[in-house]
Structures are given as C-alpha cells and as structure tokens.
Structure 1
C-alpha cells in the first residue's frame, strides 16, 4: 500500500499546481456530449465522490476527455478491453478506517487509511463493450430547462432566498440567503453558480450540518468554508447539468486557498469530504420534499 502521507501530498500538489496557474480544477468546461449528471462514474455507473471527483475533473481537463467513465486496468481487461500503450492513468483514492487486532494491553481503536490507485478514462481504452462508447448523436447537447431545474432544487431545500441589493451572502443570524438583483449578474451561469454556492453555506448552519461559519474574511476558517461552499456548488452544478462559473473574488480566494493547502496537505481532502456532505444533505432534502407530497 502506498504511504498515506505520500498520497495526500500527491493530491495536494496536483491541486496547488493548478491554483498557482490561475485555474480552479473544479471548474469544468462542460462539453456538450454528456447527458444529465457530469459527475465522474465507475464502470458500474456508480458515481465517484469527494476528492475523487476533483481529481478526475482535473485529469479530464488536462487531457481533454469528454467521457466521464473511469475504470481500472484490470477492470478493462475483464471487460475484454485494453488500455492503449503509453496511456497515463489518473489517481483516485479509497479511504476509510480499520481496526487492527488489539494486543492484550491495548484498547481497540480505528485507524484511518487512504489508498491511492490508478484508473483510466474509457477514451484511453480499446475494445470495451459498446455501452461504453455512446453513438455520436447521443453525445450532442440537449436542451434542458436549466433555470427551472435549479429553481426547483433550491425551492425544495426550504431555504429563504431574497433578491435585491448588491451582494450575495448567507446570514446565519436570521438564517436566510441574500442575492443581488438578477439584472446585476453577467449571465444565468453566474447567477445559479452563486446561488448554489450560498445555499451550500446555508447547509452548514448549526441546525443543519453545523460547520464552523464564524471565520472572518482573511482567516483560515473563512478560507476553508469558502472552499467547501465552492466545491459543493461545483458538485451540485455537475449533478444538475449546469455550468459552474462563480467568478467573484477569484484572485483573493486563490491566494487564501493556496496558503491553506500549503500549510496542510490534508486540507483539500477534508474540504472535499465536507463539500460532498453538503451536496448530499441538499440532495437529501429533494427526496424529503417528495415524501411529504406523497
């Protein structure tokens, strides 16, 4: 097994490299050949989660892949496929805990592990079953009600959202979200990216996921919460099939995120896990709303 510290460092180094180049690796170009969710998936169709989503988005962007399915070398062989010669795989991780066999004088305790392994995009593999290679006509962009999709999603969370003024923010004291007038946004993409960012902050309130929302601008806790909210918004946008382009304060946030990531190699993995929890929580409210109607 690869050393856990080395795996954390490889992930962090990859993210830092892109941030220093002025690119946020969780911002996808959203090419037009994917239907519905743009979250990377395994051969079984199961969605990757947390830090693995970021790592596979980054790999797709750097290599120009349009497909979102990733599988291991062994899985490709088992399916009758073959990774092309000299193709480079992408790093993903499996993490959890295990309890070692305790000695008589030790208390049992769970030990975390993070194991890195390599996967390949289906575009790097030949001779896979036809289901992995969608016909060209199925890869064309489809017209979907992007605005209605997000409006419905936000409404089902029950969050109080008010438009007006010049700033976007979640106010914990009164538990509401303020958004600028719609006319102030550069585009619908910008508006809905911002709205999903703020509703991700909303998910962290004490009565919900109880994240630390007390950090002031410039503090490490503020930088972490902003990173969690942006990653969560990125996950939600991908799941809803909506482009993600928050725009605001990019240079300031990049600087603060770089500082945090360079000081703590685990920070990006932790932030991604919290962002995934936020996205899961908000998605869970959709089902809750449906069950109330039923």
Structure 2
C-alpha cells in the first residue's frame, strides 16, 4: 500500500463521517485509547485516527499472529482493521549504508472478535496526573482569569484559564486545558507550527484540527469526554480535505508530535 492510497482512504472516511454529523475522534473514551491488548502499545498518530472510526465499546486490539501465540480463537467472518507502521530498509554501497523508512501495513482485530471475549479492565490515568506530568516536563506560564474561558496567548506565551468551577464539569475543564496545551507546543522554539506568512483564518483552522486531535488523545489517556466546539471549522476541514488528501493525516502526525513533546514520549498506560 502506498502513502497516497492510504491518505485517500483516510480522507474519504473523514469526509463521509463528518458529513453524517460525527467527528470520529470525538468520543467519551471511557475505556481508554486504542491499544494492543497484549503488548499494551497505545496506537497513536495516524493509527489513532484509523481506529477512531471503529465503533466499539472496548478499543483493545490484537494481530492474527498474537491470537495464535496466545491460543485465542477469532470468531468466523471477523474483519481486521487497517493499521500502518514504518520499517527501515538498508542499501549498502561501496562508501556507505543508506537507510530509509518505508510504509507497511497490517490488520488488527478487536477484542470482541474473540470467541472467549472478556471485557478488559481499562488502565486509565487521572487527568491531574497527565497535567502534573506535563508541568514537570516543561515550564509553562499559566494565568488564571475570572470568566474569559480557556485560551493560549501566542504573543505573550501563556495559557489563561478560569477556575474549574467555571466549567460544566471537571472533564470539560481538562479537555479545554489539554486543547490549549497542544496549541502551546506550536510556538517558535518548540515545534514551530505557526507560520507568519499563512492566512490567519486558514492557519487557525488548520491548527484547531491539530489541537483537537491532540487533546482527544490526552483525554483518551484518562478516559474522559473529548467533545469540543468546532462547528465553525468543519466546512474548512471538509473543503481542505477534498483539495489535499494529506491534510488530515498530516494534522494527525503533527498532533502526535505535540503529545510526544508534552509527555516526553511517555504516554503508555
């Protein structure tokens, strides 16, 4: 499978799902993120996006080989879900060894596809644990306001947030805060996502998708609802995705880079 075919498949799924009134990554995540049930690896980046389309109660997956190794039987007519990964290929020349990554794909099955299915018990972190981990990794300027909502000021480089009592519930507070923390990573000197020569609205709408995907992942780590107010950007996302099949996958990759930056690549349960 080449990258163009993969991106086209993802884009078509996103477009069709959004048209039906659903954003696939916006979920309660009460049972955590898509995860390999045996290795405990959390699927991230594009694979997080791919498995977000899967409407299952328990986002726990395994490969056909893993089922064989653990003497598990897969139900008849079960269908695998596509995931991707990169492998390194080496070419030896007279002077050097050239290494480059190439795209590969595999299929995983859901835990409910097993004949002896037992509901897994999710291992979730508390939102405050995620926040404290981020604070211990980075010096972030937080400013409390009385009622202005949660936002990131890129010019002065601070995150402003009201007291948790301002929000409908604690989940909404952390969901909003995680969203702004993803924005915080984009500043020059960190991940440099903000480009001065871009159209302001286009840049902001693009960045909002990165922040939404990133905050959804962080919410999933602690099993909380990730629903955000994004209706004003949906038309832009749809039009952009139709014109550029790499738009959504690239946003997923950028979101994962932001998460890796915040958590220092430590986000397994």
Equivalent position to 1:242, from 197, 214, 224? 224
2:57 corresponds to 1:65: yes
Equivalent residues of 1:26, 1:57 under 8 A apart: yes
Per the alignment, residue 6 of structure 1 pairs with: 5
**Does residue 1:193 correspond to 2:175, yes or no?**
yes
Q: Mapping of 1:1-294 within 5 angstroms?
A: 2-31=1-30, 34=31, 37-41=32-36, 43-59=38-54, 61=55, 64-66=56-58, 68-95=59-86, 98=89, 113-127=102-116, 133=118, 138=121, 146=127, 148-156=128-136, 157-164=138-145, 165-180=147-162, 182-212=164-194, 214=196, 215-219=198-202, 221-246=203-228, 248=229, 250-284=230-264
Whole-angstrom distance in 1 between the partners of 2:88 and 2:232: 36
Shift of 1:49: 1.7
More helix by share: 1
* 8 Å Cα contact 1:51-1:268 kept in structure 2: no
* Cα distance change on mapping 1:47 and 1:205 into 2, 3 Å: same
Aligned residues between the structures: 263
The unaligned stretches of length 5 or more in structure 2 are none
Cα 1:75/1:12, change in 2 over 3 Å:
same
Deviation at 1:260, TM superposition (A): 2.0
Report deviation, 1:92.
Answer: 0.9
TM-score (structure 1 length as normaliser): 0.76
1:232 positional shift: 1.1
Q: Distance in 2 between matches of 1:202 and 1:125?
A: 42
Separation in structure 1 between the aligned mates of residue 221 and residue 111 of structure 2, nearest angstrom: 20
- Distance (Å, rounded) in 1 between the aligned partners of 2:265 and 2:47: 24
1:166 counterpart SS class: coil
Normalized against structure 2, the TM-score is what?
A: 0.83
Change (3 A) 1:244 1:256: same
Deviation of 1:117 (Å) = 2.3
* Displacement after TM superposition at 1:253 (Å): 1.7
CA root-mean-square deviation: 3.1
Matches of 2:8 and 2:166, distance apart in 1: 40
Secondary structure of the residue aligned to 1:82 is coil
Return the alpha-carbon distance in structure 2 between the equivalents of residues 176 and 286 of structure 1.
24
Shift, 1:42, TM fit = 5.1
Cα distance 1:213–1:159, how it changes in 2: closer, same or farther (>3 A)?
farther
- Find the aligned partners of 2:241 and 2:199 in 1 and give their Cα distance: 18
**Cα distance, 1:228 vs structure 2:** 1.1
Residue 174 of structure 1: SS of its match in structure 2? coil
Q: 1:39–1:235: 8 Å Cα contact kept in structure 2?
A: no
In 1: Cα distance, 2:142 partner to 2:199 partner: 23
User: Aligned with 2:260: secondary structure?
Assistant: helix
